[in-house]
Amino acid sequence: MTATIKLGQLAEFLGATLCGSAEKEITGLATLQEAGPSQLSFLANPQYRKYLVDCHAGAVLLKAADAQEYAGDSLVVPDPYLAYARISHLFDSKPKASAGIHPSAVIAEDALIDPTASIGAFAVVESGAQIAAGVTVGAHCFIGARCSIGEGGWLAPRVTLYHDVHIGKRVVIQSGAVIGGEGFGFANEKGVWQKIAQVGGVTIGDDVEIGVNTAIDRGALADTLIGNGVKLDNQIQIAHNVQVGDHTAMAACVGISGSTKIGKHCMLAGGVGLVGHIEICDNVFLTGMTMVTHSITEPGAYSSGTAMQPAAQWRKSAARIRQLDDIARRLKHLEKQVGEVTSSAKASSEG
């Protein structure tokens, strides 16, 4: 299953400077600590420079400065992490689906499926769907009516697209993701919730990645919009009519409430939650588990929550937080008292 590629070929592929044997055969990738003599490694984080000394890797992707000090073979590149990213795909043993429609799949007569696309076992493709060249639709996928999937897309087994979901080119969707579910729209009539049909769809740009069990709801009226190059990790919830700007990345377990608009090049760490109907500007970084209750208009990093403590100490802190308003009032009162005492003391000493 493993690829075997000569070091010289890898140098050529990357446009890297080769320090070492062009004929050395590389069969895989590993960390500096674990790599063996036929594996390629990389040094991206300066903290790991210490592992270079005892490194047994066949070769290492290094910056020029690091390569000078390294005795073993290396490929010298400006950005070793990026070079590793590019090269990783050469050693990926992920099975490739063959073109064509599995005989068990159920395909609507008027669905348009490019002959170079691959449709897996037990997939269902509904009326009017369009699947472009080179797309892989995994086993157990459901592609709803009038959906479109742009060229080069890859859907893992068991991805569900409701109707009217439009997906750009080269989009990767992991198992269990559901795109186009009916958003949480209800009108309250004397305490009883009346459902609002969600008549919008979902539009997803090019080069988007959507993680395992992530949900992106369809719009209530207009479409929910995911920009180009957006990367969504696992277990994320994107509510109806959310808009996510180009190249924004979200780590796992993020939840975005309805109609919220997120800018470009934002990063949301794991577990972040945003209320609905707010706007986050471009280049915002939200640290883990931050609760965002209002719009953000300035780029930068934002946080909420409290730092972890041993539970016994935390209980004291938590109790004191509930007294904080009282503490602040008492402090103000004390400042007034002390101010009076010191000024009268001053007056009497000067008097």
List the one residue out of 182, 180, 136 whose CA is nearest residue 162. 180
Q: Which of 51, 175, 278, 281 binds a copy of itself (CB under 8 A)?
A: 175
Pairwise CA distance, residues 167 & 190, whole Å: 40
**What is the C-alpha to C-alpha distance for residues 52 and 63, in angstroms, rounded to an integer?**
13
Between 68 and 312, name the residue whose CB sits nearer to a copy of itself.
312
Q: How far apart are CA 84 and CA 250, in angstroms?
A: 22
Cβ distance to a copy of itself smaller for residue 31 or 68? 31
74 vs 290 by CB, closer to a copy of itself: 290
Q: Which CB atom, from 49 or from 86, has the smaller least distance to a copy of itself? A: 86
Active site residue 333: no
Tokens of 309: 């403590």
Residue type, 251: A
Q: Is 12 in the site for a copy of itself (CB under 8 A)?
A: no
Please state, in angstroms and rounded to a whole number, the distance separating the CA atoms of residues 103 and 113: 14
Q: Which of residues 224-283 bind a copy of itself (CB under 8 A)?
A: 229, 231, 233-235, 237, 239, 247, 249, 251-253, 255, 257, 265, 269-271, 273, 275
User: Cβ 90 to a copy of itself, closest distance in Å?
Assistant: 8
CA angle 211, 218, 153 (to 5 degrees): 45
Residue from 22, 53, 112, 338 that binds a copy of itself (CB under 8 A)? 338
How is residue 18 written in tokens?
A: 């080769």
Contact 104, 121 (CB under 8 A): yes
Binding mask 89-118 for a copy of itself (x = CB under 8 A): x-xxxxx------x-x-x------------
Is 200:185 a contact under the CB 8 Å cutoff?
no
Tokens of 2: 């493993």
Q: Rule CB under 8 A: choose which of 4, 21, 31, 68 binds a copy of itself.
A: 31
Tokens for 267? 């990063």
**Residues sharing a CB contact under 8 Å with residue 344, sequence separation 6 or more, in sequence order:** none
Q: Is 70 in the site for a copy of itself (CB under 8 A)?
A: no
Q: Which of 166, 240, 247, 265 is catalytic?
A: 240
Nearer to a copy of itself, 118 or 198 (CB): 198
Instruction: Identify which range of 11-19, 63-71, 110-118, 155-163 contacts a copy of itself by CB under 8 A.
Output: 155-163
Q: C-beta of 189: minimal distance to a copy of itself in Å?
A: 5
Could you say whether residue 343 binds a copy of itself (CB under 8 A)? no
3-state secondary structure of 317: helix
By the rule CB under 8 A, 189 interacts with a copy of itself: yes
